[in-house]
Amino acid sequence: MRKIIVGAGLVLLCTTAGRAQRSMDCCARTSGPSATESFARLAGDPVFRMYHTDPLPFTFRSLAAEPVQFSTPDGGTSTALVWKSKTGSHAWLLVFHEWWGLNDYVKKQSEQLWNDLGINVLALDLYDGKVAATRDSAVKYVQAASTARGIAIVRGALSYVGKDARVFTIGWCFGGGWSLQASLLAGAQADGCVMYYGMPEKDLNRLKDLHADVLGIFANRDQGITPTVVDQFAADMKTSGKNLEVHRYDAVHAFANPSNPNYDAQATGDAYTYTLAFLKAHL
């Protein structure tokens, strides 16, 4: 495992409009597809797709979570699961699922984070109720998930937690990229972002508007979010004057998911230690 820390600095997030018919947010992008669009294209790569083994059966039922529904600025609604803080904390952790959807693994992990951190946890559903059991269906859901709808769900969630909330984000795979995008959208409310093997933001103009520090967990044998991609992200964060802490593992993509046949318990435990330490330090 190798650790990298780069950059420092704070600025405010630019405002975004987020019309439903748009495939990208309104913040200027220098060139190329957005980070979320890049991941959707990556999902179409046969090599990357085949690298995702269908998840093993996994069941979890929470007695602590409550289903909630909130309005989204595109005129719709979104559902989520919420674990309320027992201490009245104003801190909220927004959880973003893998490309499988809001399945039982993500629900279990959300509850574990709630227990370990003692803050409010909100697990979002970027697929509007769909959950994939096979990689073929996961590819379809990823490619059908528009950036505009994702932005609307995040904005609806930010309205739900309120303007006084301190916002933290975490996500894996597809959700790792959305964790970073949500921290960008949260502006000055964003206090910390954790992304597990997610697609980084490549637009320096957007990164300069990032308020939160970032913890990145990556796999050296990842065939999609490759070490080269991670190196470029570290360089871009440094150029943008932002704080990034990176931990790399000799593992494959999605190594932290226990429903994955390629689950790496040792790397997962180590990464989770860094995750808790990072979030607690920012709390």
Amino acid at 12: L
Read out DSSP for 98-138? Answer: -TT-S-HHHHHHHHHHHHHH-SEEEEE-TTTT---SSHHHH
Residue 25's pLDDT is what? 38
Residue 26's pLDDT is what? 35
Which DSSP symbol is given to 244? Answer: E
pLDDT tens digit sequence for 60-113: 999 999 999 999 999 999 999 999 999 999 999 999 999 999 999 999 999 999
State the pairing for strand pair 2-6/244-249: antiparallel
Question: Cα-Cα-Cα-Cα dihedral of 135, 139, 142, 146, to 10°?
Answer: -160
Q: Give exposure, 196-221, as e/b (b: 16+ Cβ within 10 Å).
A: bbbbbbbbeebbbbbbbbbbbbbbee
Rounded alpha-carbon distances, angstroms, from residue 197 to 57, 64, 88, 175, 179 = 22, 28, 32, 9, 11
Please identify which residue in the block is written with the tokens 């179409």: 44
Q: Which domains does the chain have, with CATH numbers?
A: 2-282 (3.40.50.1820)
pLDDT in tens, the chain (283 residues): 555 555 443 322 233 333 333 333 333 333 346 899 999 998 888 888 877 888 888 899 999 999 999 999 999 999 999 999 999 999 999 999 999 999 999 999 999 999 999 999 999 999 999 999 999 999 999 999 999 999 999 999 999 999 999 999 999 999 999 999 999 999 999 999 999 999 999 999 999 999 999 999 999 999 999 999 999 999 999 999 999 999 999 999 999 999 888 899 999 999 999 999 999 999 9
Average pLDDT of the chain is 89
